[in-house]
Chains A and B, each alone.
Chain A
Amino acid sequence: MSQVLPAERGLRRVIGDGASVPDGQVDGLSADDLLALYRGLVLLRTYDERSVVYHRQGRIGTYAIFWNHEAMQVGSAFALERRDWIFPSYRESAIGLLRGMPVATVLQWWRGHPAGWWNPLDWNVASICVPIGTHVPHAVGFAWGAKLRGEDRVALVMFGDGATSEGSVHEGMTFAGVTKAPVILFCNNNQWAISTPVSEQTAAPTLAEKAIGYGMPGVRVDGGDVLAVYEATREAVARARAGDGPTFIEAVTYRAAPHATADDPSLYIDEERVAEARENECVGRFARYLERAGLLSEDVAAEIKDDALARLREGIAEAEAEPPADPALVFDYAYASPPPGLADDLAELRRILGR
């Protein structure tokens, strides 16, 4: 079995283990804030688990599972203002839910339905680029542009450990350093890029130390600790807003689910590490933290879970109620004003489809 980096090396943590490691606290977070974080975690967890089922039932297409990545998404998004932008990868496809985007919208995205095209300008959540890492320079340019326009707006861009090997990511980080763009480069290090372990991805002992070379701070947090992620992102956001430029955050977790619904990880993954990660998964960890602090009762937990399930039930029903798109849609949106040839192509298509 391939070696993976030990998750322990210099990781920031807030949540204790309920035994020898004491719980910490994050300044400025109220009990309501803590519950809001928990609601976010449960919503994403529920979305993810239901989506895997919907995929099996043929109701959505291939789906990139983010089970046990919720703390990274919730913790970082919570540190932003609504005016700040998020540039997600496919792994964070549902991050808009944290800003109130309807469940149906995200499900429709995975159904290939035009109703799934959320408007990035409505949600300040960019659309997703599948070629790995290619959205990193977009986020950097966006943030730099905001700086040039004098806007108080930062960008958070999310990508995986594998993405750190791509030219776009190196070049984007170089650019961010030089322009002092107000951007947070958030790396979800789940230790796998499909079947390639991070030890085959880089010879660097950690990803965070790469930041030195780009002239920005690099922080390493436990990606399963929503509070540590929140705190680290909040600090990075403060630096960005203060004009001090970008920060690289490496959030370390372990991919405890397949890469996507089409993947069979048994060919390559370390089942013991998966079992350990599942045991210590991020939503349960935070629930226990809240319980220890006396902030989460069984009743409240049940209400939060039921609420999330109801949103999913309504979401899938709404997504499925949408009639399939007219074939003419094939030709829409390639251009603002379509060239004449497309009309001929559409006419041919209609003739063949007989409508």
Chain B
Amino acid sequence: MSTVTLTYREASRAGIRHALATDERVFLMGEDVGAYGGAFAVSMSLLEEFGPERVRNTPLSESAFVGAGIGAALNGMRPIVEVMTINFSLLALDQIVNNAATLRYMSGGQLSVPLVVRMATGAGRQLAAQHAHSLEVWYAHIPGVRALAPATPEDARGMLLAALDDPDPVFIFEHATLYPLEGELEETPHAVDIDHAAVRRGGDDVTLVTYGGSLGKCLQAAETLAADGIDAEVIDLRTLRPLDTETILASLAKTHRLVIVDEGWKTGSLAAEVSAQIMERGFDLLDWPVRRVCTAEVPIPYAKHLEEAALPSTERIVHAVKEMAF
């Protein structure tokens, strides 16, 4: 099997390019996705390759272009909608919650909204309180949609392709700090499994459950812990809705300790949902109360040192693990 090395950004682009090249129902639209290549340069050069009918700059109207994506999907197209960041997706939330997520249900299964919406999420780039939140749990709250959080280049490419195969609306959250991350991928683009979490590092002493931009922090924390003789298993949730609790339960059967690392705010977070599901289904497996490492419950600060202080960090993860008795 031959492989290629791509950044997360290039991998996401490779997924979009493959979809545009192989399925004429696919088109990409969003703010500045044309010559500019999108806010994070993901679609760079796609306008030249596929032309303005298929790589389309939209007016600055999130609600309209997400709504138009719903309409196009209803008519058999496979739109990929890019929203610059998750914060701006809030302007389209009514289209998402009330329409995209409900049309199948409200038509007794007759309608289908095969819409894919990608957006950048997360902090770490000094973009402050209106540009840097991790609100993906809000999407994970909505029945009728699927929520994906690629943490690796392979997933950035393959999840997009899997999303396009899904007959229901799929939301893809690309953590903004991951775009330069490099990884090795199979040369031929293909859809990846979007039903299961992945064990990114094996270990017997404690389970770290995370997703997206926090995966790297957890792997780093696992290295630090290893130096102290604590062997952490790291699970990447990958799919935030529906959650794959089985993989976590299987891990806890070995480790009996769970720390959840989530860049969202703790109250009502994905970490809260994972924790609740483990309480319901794996209480007997636990030797220690579940711990959560989340973002401070404040708007994201702008100053670098304050932003860092507000976010989950390797130190905080290590600290949470070390508070447990081994």
Contact = CB atoms under 8 A, between A and B. Distances in A.
Interface in A289-311: none
Most buried by B among A113, A329, A330, A352: A330
Which 9 A-B pairs rank lowest in CB-CB distance, beginning with the nearest? A195-B36, A112-B302, A165-B59, A112-B303, A130-B130, A162-B60, A334-B298, A165-B60, A268-B35
A329 B309 CA distance: 10
A130 B131 contact: yes
Given A61-B126, A352-B315, A330 B57 contact: no
Please tell me the size bucket of the interface on B: 35 or more
B37 interface: yes
A201 B58 CA distance: 7
Interface stretch (A24-32, A71-79, A274-282, A341-349): A341-349
B87 A202 contact: no
Given A130-B128, A330-B306, A342-B297, A202 B59 contact: yes
Interface in A120-179: 129-133, 162-163, 165-168
A200 B126 CA distance: 30
A57 to B, nearest CB: 16
A167 B303 contact: no
A113 B16 CA distance: 40
Given A195-B34, A330-B306, 13 more contacts: A61-B302, A112-B301, A131-B90, A162-B59, A166-B61, A166-B62, A167-B64, A200-B57, A267-B37, A334-B299, A342-B296, A345-B296, A348-B319
B203 to A, nearest CB: 23
Interface string A261-293: 000000110000000000000000000000000
Contacts, number: 108
B125 to A, nearest CB: 9
Contact of B35 (A195, A334, A353): A195
Contacts of B61: 165-167
A182 B59 CA distance: 28
Contacts of B32: 193-196
Contacts of A351: 319
Interface string A17-56: 0000000000000000000000000000000000000000
Nearest to A200: B57
A324 B298 contact: no
Contacts of A168: 91
A304 to B, nearest CB: 33
Nearest to B39: A194
Contacts of B306: 112, 325, 327, 329-330
Given A61-B126, A112-B303, A349 B309 contact: yes
A129 B299 CA distance: 14
A194 B59 contact: no
A193 B130 contact: no
